[in-house]
Structure 1
Amino acid sequence: MPDLALNEGKAMLSKGRVKIITPLIFVFALIVSANAEALSSQGRGQVNIKGEIVATACAISTKSREQTIDMGNISVSDIYRRGQGNAKAFSIELINCTLETQSAHDSARKYVQLTFDGNNDNGLFQGEGRGKGVAIRITDHNGNVAIPGVAMPLETLAPGNKMLNYFMTLVAVHHPLKVGGYFFTIRFRLDYL
């Protein structure tokens, strides 16, 4: 005698088997739902987002935040003869500048002051690497020399965008010079006054 019988297109269980099959269906449903949960959790991930809300007069352009400047190759004889390499221009672009105050306690910010920081080698920026005996000198558009950790002269702000232009030059500081690659990490900070 079959356990299932079709009656008008519907499946029907015989009465004697209902007690055994019902718990089996329940266990089967639990196993299927547990597997479905396991399968659905295999595609999870997490994205962390961070940032900061600040009250500044300007934003720094994303292309100006982190820059890599290739100073090129220079021979030891050129450094000895001239005492320095060629100057390379670089800029820090300030965008969306506003002179408005953020609260009644703030005063309008009319100036920006930039400070370069890095390893100090007698007032110049010291590098790292196999190439030895050279440092970087940074000057602004007026010829003011940046000293690591010392603020540069004030720059006037105006609404809109502002380009801060500088030059960096590889300078001989120690003899003898040692050939090889070098790199410098120079950070900058902006203060609005």
Structure 2
Amino acid sequence: MGCYCIRILGRLLPVFFILLNHASWADTDIHFSGILVAEPCQLATDSEDQIVDFGPIAARQFINNSQTSPNSFNLRLIDCDLSIGQSVIFTFTGDEDADQPGLFAVAGEAKGIAIVLMDDEGNKVQPGKAMSASSLAEAENSFSFQAAVSGPEFSLVSAGSFTSTVMFSLEYN
């Protein structure tokens, strides 16, 4: 009887190794994907995810002024290749304030205020509206913008913290 078990094991053992070895032959696929873009410039890393901190603002400031002094920020485009594109159009998007059309809405406890975004010459940037094209220079370009808090009616302004998120897109020509 002991001989019979060894014969069965002896016959099953090669089948087991064949099945085990077959599992290591399993075919697998690797899929690669991506997007190849033809953009003439790269956005500098110091221009990504910027924070413009207005600091503490006294609500009483809006008694005599409809907006705060502007805070400046820059967007830098680097490694520009003018053979691919010679100008850029900025479009800033975000929630538009219901009470102050053309300005960006804020979220939080503060009420009666909105964010006004301006180019380097003080022209207001409208939410979702493309700006005029700006010429690019070879290599590096810096574009200056300003942001301020607008509170045109002091009686509607109430204190508290606030945030606003504004995104931008670039269109090259």
TM-score, normalized by the shorter chain, greater than 0.5: yes
Identity %: 29
From the superposition, tell whether residues 51 and 125 of structure 1 become closer, same or farther in structure 2 (CA, over 3 Å).
farther
Give the letter for the 1:179 counterpart: A
Q: If the length of structure 1 is used for normalisation, what is the TM-score?
A: 0.69
Structure 1 segments of 4 or more deviating over 4 A?
24-27, 48-51
Give the letter for the 2:119 counterpart: D
Residue equivalent to 2:52? 69
Task: Mark the runs of 5 or more structure 1 residues left unpaired by the alignment.
Answer: 1-15, 38-47, 102-108
Residue equivalent to 2:171? 191
Partners of 2:167 and 2:136 in 1: how far apart?
Answer: 21
Q: If the length of structure 2 is used for normalisation, what is the TM-score?
A: 0.76
2:92 to 116, 124, 132: 116
Partners of 1:100 and 1:129 in 2: how far apart?
Answer: 45
Residue equivalent to 2:5? 20
Return the offset for 1:51. 4.5
Question: Highest CA radius of gyration, 1 or 2?
Answer: 1
From the superposition, tell whether residues 49 and 164 of structure 1 become closer, same or farther in structure 2 (CA, over 3 Å).
farther
Residue equivalent to 1:100? 83
2:123 equivalent to 1:144 = yes
Structure with greater proportional strand content: 1
Q: Does the CA contact (< 8 Å) of 2:112 and 2:157 recur in 1? A: yes
Partners of 2:58 and 2:77 in 1: how far apart?
Answer: 36
Moved more, 153-162 or 78-87: 78-87
For these two proteins, the number of residue pairs brought into alignment is 157
Return the offset for 1:130. 1.6
Partners of 1:50 and 1:88 in 2: how far apart?
Answer: 41
Q: Does the CA contact (< 8 Å) of 1:115 and 1:150 recur in 2? A: yes
